[in-house]
Amino acid sequence: MHSSLRLSLTWLHTWAGLLLGSVLFVIFWMGSLTVFDREIDRWMQPGTRLVAPTTPLALDHSVVPIAQVLAAGSSQWGVNLPTERAPQLRFFYRDGGGQTITRAIDSRSGMLIPDQGSRAGTGFFFPFHFSLHIQWRDLGYWIVGVAGMAMLVLLVSGIIIHKKIFIEFFLFRPRKQLPRASLDLHNLTGVLALPFHFVITLSGLIIFMGIYFPQAQVGAYGMGEQAKQQYTREAFGNYKRPRAGRMNHLASLDAMLAEAERQWPGGQASSLRVWHPGDTNAYVEVTRSYANDVTMHLDRLTFDGQSGALLQRFVGAPVMKAQRFISGMHFIQFDHWGIRCLYFFAGLSGCVMIATGLFFWLESRRVRHAKKGLAGVRVVEALTVGSVSGIMIATLR
């Protein structure tokens, strides 16, 4: 029975790796690059290579005039505040077609930075990592989710089928034939970063639990638009009120930021979003920064857009705090260069593990498949070349 179980898991490990290994390599590669997405932005967008501002921001004089021109008639607009990693203001607004447009603003001069012609790390690599840029019916999310489940299967089955997994950790024979050397490197990288691979894969699935497992939300809140709104209000603190249809001026955003930081002793704001701009019922959401926290918390203050009065203060419930802590471990948005580098190299070790697994299968079966006239090696070889070397070359371009 023990031998039969090992054979079954070996078969499962092999086929799960063959079917989804190419997708997993792309996910791990893009995830590794995303660790330094802000730095990639500055490299690929020269106009954003600025110095973080040392004086208080003046959003009323820099962002608001730009918003009145670019976001005229928009249902919402907002700005991400500068940080050490991203020292420019990131202005965004919703256009008439529902698309979000983003523009960079020099935080020192308040001038728009010309379009840099690249979506770079945060605009391309980051969403590629979890959605493959396939938006139709959330298909990209589902492909990544299936690949994530396969990765968990590969990790667990890989531990079980290797009898001497800890001995193999110390074995790397690069002078041996390619199949043996590939398998050694596959085992080495798999064991070396096994905790990271497991946690990063599981956390990725938990982050999008609303897509992969909506039954929990439906079971607690029910079906329908009203139930969905109640869920988002209680889980994420979404404040909503309709437009009044009467024009009015927006209160001082600088005063709202000052009040937000007074409400958060020692904390700073990370973003600001204006809903129904120019309307009497306009309101402003100010989100707290989590640059110094692992947890990507949901701390948010909502102000009345006309008077500047505080309407709501939201702090996530314990369940959401746990989910956001897991999200923080995965996205690593907190400022810690040492851990960021560890994430990067652990992610690359996952790429090596996946690639060497595919190489081992190819080289160990190439002669056998050629004698039998099977096309399996050619198919897997094409997928491996396209996903491994292809995605790396495409990234460099």
| Residue 33 pLDDT > 70 | yes
| Residue 223 pLDDT > 90 | no
Q: What is the DSSP letter of 114?
A: P
How far is C-alpha 128 from the geometric centre of its chain's CA atoms? 9
Mean pLDDT, residues 167-190 taken together: 70
- Per DSSP, the three-state class of 103 is strand
179 confidence band (pLDDT: 50, 70, 90): low
| Residue 350 pLDDT > 90 | yes
| Closest alpha carbon to 143 in 128, 124, 157, 163 | 128
The span from the CA of 54 to the CA of 257, in Å, is: 16
Q: Which amino acid is at 259?
A: E
Beta strands in 44-155 (DSSP E): 76-80, 89-94, 100-105
214 confidence band (pLDDT: 50, 70, 90): confident
Q: What is the DSSP letter of 77?
A: E
Q: What is the pTM of this model?
A: 0.89
Q: 25, 355 in Cβ contact below 8 A?
A: yes
| Residue 23 pLDDT > 90 | yes
| Residue 1 pLDDT > 60 | no
The span from the CA of 203 to the CA of 214, in Å, is: 17
Averaged pLDDT score across all residues of the chain = 88
Q: Which amino acid is at 181?
A: A
DSSP assignment of 225-284 equals: HHHHHHHHHHHH--------S-B-PPPPHHHHHHHHHHHSTT--EEEEEEESTTBTT-EE
Mean pLDDT, residues 24-38 taken together: 95
